[in-house]
Amino acid sequence: ARRYDPVAAQQRWQEYWAAEQTFVPADDGSRERRYVLDMFPYPSGDLHMGHAEAFVMGDIVARHLKLRGYDVLHPIGWDSFGLPAENAAIKNDTHPAEWTDRNIETQATSFKRYGLSFDWSRRLHTSDPEYYRWTQWLFLRFRERGLAYRKGSYVNWCPVDQTVLANEQVVNGACERCGATVTKRQLTQWYFKTTEYAQRLLDDMADLEGGWPERVLAMQRNWIGRSEGAYVDFEIDGVDEPVTVFTTRPDTLYGATFFVVAPEGELASAIVADGQRAEFEAYLERVKLETEIERQSTDRPKTGVFLGVYATNPVNNERIPVYAADYVLADYGTGAVMAVPAHDQRDLDFARTYDLPVVEVVSTGEPDPADSGIATPGDGTYINSGPLDGLTDKATGVSTIIGQLEEAGVGKGAVTYRLRDWLLSRQRYWGAPIPIVHCVSCGEVAVPDDQLPVELPPLTGAALAPKGISPLASATEWVNVDCPSCGGPATRDTDTMDTFVDSSWYFFRYCSPGDVEGPFDPEDVRRWMPVAQYVGGVEHAILHLLYMRFFTKVLHDMGMVDFDEPMRRLLNQGQVINQGKSMSKSLGNGVDLGEQIDLYGVDAVRLTVVFAGPPEDDIDWADVSPGGSAKFLQRAYRLASEVTSLPGVDFAGGDAALRSTTHKLLTEIDDCLAGQRFNVMVARVMELVNAARKVVDTGAGPADPAVREAAEVVTIVLSLVAPYIAEEMWEALGHAPSVADASWPIVDPSLLITEAVTCVVQVQGKVRARLEVSPDISDGELKELALSADGVVRSLAGRDIAKVIIRAPKLVSIVPA
Ligand code: ANZ
Ligand code: ZN
């Protein structure tokens, strides 16, 4: 038998697939369409083991659907804007495109070698002007709908990258990209109004149940963070308008003993009494240096400053002191809280530090918080609470107070969300310029559509170095333009968009590559979308997956797409680790994908990744055996190359036991594919190779048609995981290329019945019938068969039955009355 040579096969089939456009969908309506999508890569160096795992999972799904007869769209492109390219350009005194394009070419070559069934004709790069023209176009459409706007506020600032960050990009108080501690800055920035879609983003998750991992849905739900409660208005001395707080516990209003506002909000500096201003401003300076995480940490001593004014509690007219304290955040709720120290621990800690009264209004049976220092947030009996006294039901307590507030016109029931508007301005170069011009007379003016794209001016090297303002500001010729509206002198907006904007719509573009009329043709999208299967890392559970859902909903409201959710199913593959740890340079435990491929071949590496465990689990490279995978592949190849019957031979005459094994394993393989247990699928293929091997070596021999049937099933199923060797096997079996164009084998249910067992049926101890039955027949089925058997019916001759003893599958004993 021939041996399989991975290197030659890899070369040969890559060329074949490209020349024959094997993986370019027909898109002619002759077959049902399916869209399989991998989260597109960021071009940071060559592909690594993580890519090897992620992309093989999507490839299995795409190849399987194609073999099942679907017209499959499986595109690839690059998320090619972003900071690392810019940092590399500064270091090497080049343009970011240089680093970007070089890495893209490296990755593209590796993707091709890795045997992924991509349609290369739809390839896109988000940094191409022809792509970001439409990113800008979409920004303008969002702005027309009031969904993109500019406002000044304190924003997250990365002191190393010298740019602002969205809340989602701050992880435990640190910059998601570089790990630097994030600080705050007052800046005027562009935002997308994600908050307007908060409730829909929550509600539509119902459609994703079952298709998306539960933990991703939980993370999104948590991030959106819906809270129910009430707004309550408090009069404050010397302030004309009442100040509103958001509370989840309006039922504890009688226990509010002081009032707290966020130090950095506008309110604090507006209401502070003159005598307290100096102290307040000193405090504010300190707070600005704190990180969000510090401010929200519960075990930190509470700090704050009295503002010299009092608020009036609307239900009992009690006057309570007003403080500014850092545990109240400016951008949550209304930036002001009524403090109920008896039932909120942060308020209690603050009250104890500043010697403020603690009034219990819910008696829970636990010690009085004023003595214990432990707040009691639980249920109990209302006390010291006017009309609520004696009541025990919290829901009634809440609704009673809300009713009272609404009647008096000093509050109302309310819902708030933790989700913030999406801050999309970045003070960096390598992103899509914001297509706005600032004119002295006209203000903010949109760049007209026919002047898009606003292309980046060609800056390189030191010109890109972070300086706190966008590098684009230094490109004076680019910045200074005529106002599109009045023709007067104006300047371009110098910020670029967060790269998450680019990745929020790329999947639409794949449906209409190269469209010059719009970001995509709605007709093309209607044909292909929603995406049947999306594959990518769980690190995107919040950022990307929330933003792209938001974009889809806006496009829906614009009438450009007719669905609300773009991805029906989501698979989060695990990570590849080594020796129990993430691979890293400092640990020296990195495994190089290219080296593994050189050593074992693409097929063996892919098979190893798939066989290692369920797709969602992490793979420890220390526990796997690519050498073992390579050996198995040689066994599979040998089986196919030894088959001597001809293609098209009638399988019916083949070895019955092997045929039954083939169809049983195929049933299980189908189940594995449906449940995405690809590792178990590989185990079943291995069993099938062994079963066929036995028949070749010690049974009917290689000419038996059942051996061909088994080898063909092995080849087709293996083509999902190990596409190169599968092509060679398909050819060895005498078929015309390519196995990617074969049809998925169909289970013959009649072959699933395992060797029948003979069941003896007795009437009064005498054998009256023998039945051929399945070994796993149920008692009920067996009884029915036995009672209707000819010999039994004759022998009973209409008599009643006293008793039927069933010992499935071998014996039924009938006792007549
Ligand atoms: C009075 C009260 C009594 C509260 C009580 C809680 C318990 P969630 O559930 O996370 O939405 N709060 C409101 N705005 C805030 C801000 N900007 N910064 C810090 N805290 C703020 O939390 C809502 C609760 O957090 C609100 O209900 C308010 O305190 C506080 F026994 O009001 B509560
Ligand atoms: Zn103007």
Q: Tokens in use for 69? A: 């007869």
- The binding site for ATP consists of 585
189, 164 Cβ separation under 8 angstroms = yes
Cβ count near 137 (within 10 Å): 17
Starting from the CA of residue 446, give the closest ligand: 2
For the segment 649-663, what is each residue's pLDDT rounded down to a tens digit?
A: 999 999 999 999 999
Confidence of residue 789 (pLDDT cuts 50, 70, 90): very high
Confidence of residue 388 (pLDDT cuts 50, 70, 90): very high
Q: Whose CA is nearest to atom 32 of ligand 1?
A: 247
pLDDT the model gives residue 584 = 84
The interface predicted TM-score of the complex, written ipTM, equals 0.92
Ligand 2 centroid – CA 492 distance (Å):
12
Starting from the CA of residue 439, give the closest ligand: 2
Whole-number average pLDDT of the chain: 95
Contacts of the segment 488-492: beta carbons below 8 A, 24+ positions apart: 488/439, 488/440, 488/441, 488/442, 489/439, 489/440, 490/437, 490/438, 490/439, 490/440, 490/442, 490/445, 491/437, 491/438, 492/433, 492/436, 492/437, 492/438, 492/454
Of 337, 340, 341, the C-alpha closest to 328 is 337
Please report, rounded to a whole number, the percentage of residues in the chain having pLDDT higher than 90.
87
* Mean pLDDT lowest among 208-222, 283-297, 696-710: 283-297
Q: Tokens in use for 307? A: 């503002």
Three-state secondary structure call for residue 357: coil
Of 625, 607, 534, 537, the C-alpha closest to 575 is 537
For the segment 143-157, what is each residue's pLDDT rounded down to a tens digit?
A: 999 999 999 878 888
For the segment 319-328, what is each residue's pLDDT rounded down to a tens digit?
A: 999 999 999 9
Given its phi and psi angles, is residue 487 left (phi above 0), alpha (psi -120 to 50 degrees) or beta?
left
Pocket test for ligand 1, best of 337, 382, 415, 418 (most atoms within 8 A of CB): 337
Starting from the CA of residue 414, give the closest ligand: 1
Q: Whose CA is nearest to atom 2 of ligand 1?
A: 249
Ligand 2 centroid – CA 186 distance (Å):
27
For the segment 235-277, what is each residue's pLDDT rounded down to a tens digit?
A: 999 899 999 999 999 999 999 999 999 999 999 999 999 999 9
pLDDT the model gives residue 238 = 87
787, 814 Cβ separation under 8 angstroms = yes
DSSP state of 204: G
Query: What does each C-alpha distance from 109 to 42, 118, 601 come to in angstroms?
Result: 15, 12, 15
Ligand 2 centroid – CA 487 distance (Å):
6
pLDDT of 341 > 70? The answer is: yes
Please report, rounded to a whole number, the percentage of residues in the chain having pLDDT higher than 70.
99
pLDDT of 696 > 80? The answer is: yes
Confidence of residue 169 (pLDDT cuts 50, 70, 90): confident
Given its phi and psi angles, is residue 665 left (phi above 0), alpha (psi -120 to 50 degrees) or beta?
alpha
- Helix then strand count (H, E) for the chain reads 27, 34
Q: Supply the Cα-derived Rg of the chain in whole angstroms.
A: 35
pLDDT of 291 > 80? The answer is: no
Ligand 2 centroid – CA 481 distance (Å):
10
* Mean pLDDT lowest among 16-30, 514-528, 767-781: 767-781
**Any residues with Cβ below 6 Å from ligand 1, and which?**
227, 246-249, 252, 262, 328-329, 332-333, 335, 337-338, 340, 343-344, 377
pLDDT of 30 > 90? The answer is: yes
pLDDT of 1 > 70? The answer is: no
**What is the reported pTM?**
0.87
Confidence of residue 162 (pLDDT cuts 50, 70, 90): confident
Pocket test for ligand 1, best of 244, 246, 366 (most atoms within 8 A of CB): 246
pLDDT the model gives residue 298 = 76
pLDDT of 2 > 70? The answer is: no
In ligand 1, which atom is closest to the CA atom of 418? 11
pLDDT the model gives residue 362 = 98
In ligand 1, which atom is closest to the CA atom of 255? 3
Residue 528 vs residue 45, higher pLDDT? 528
Q: Whose CA is nearest to atom 29 of ligand 1?
A: 247
pLDDT of 756 > 60? The answer is: yes
pLDDT the model gives residue 499 = 97
Three state DSSP letters for 156-184: EEECCCCEEECHHHEECCEECCCCCECEE
Confidence of residue 186 (pLDDT cuts 50, 70, 90): confident
In ligand 1, which atom is closest to the CA atom of 330? 17
In ligand 1, which atom is closest to the CA atom of 335? 17
pLDDT the model gives residue 173 = 81
pLDDT of 630 > 90? The answer is: yes
Residue 781 vs residue 299, higher pLDDT? 781
Ligand 1 centroid – CA 246 distance (Å):
7
In ligand 1, which atom is closest to the CA atom of 229? 27
The residues, ordered by sequence, that sit 6+ positions from 70 with a Cβ below 8 Å of its Cβ are 31, 32, 33, 34
Pocket test for ligand 1, best of 231, 315, 332 (most atoms within 8 A of CB): 332
The angle, 0 to 180 degrees and rounded to 10, between the axes of the packed helices 593-600 and 626-642 is 40
What average pLDDT score do residues 562-571 get?
98
Q: Which helix (H) or strand (E) holds 502?
A: helix 499-502
Starting from the CA of residue 232, give the closest ligand: 1
pLDDT of 509 > 70? The answer is: yes
- The binding site consists of 585
pLDDT the model gives residue 183 = 84
Of 118, 191, 109, the C-alpha closest to 150 is 191
What CA–CA distance (Å, rounded) separates 264 from 381? 37
Q: Whose CA is nearest to atom 11 of ligand 1?
A: 227
What CA–CA distance (Å, rounded) separates 93 from 550? 38
pLDDT of 206 > 90? The answer is: yes
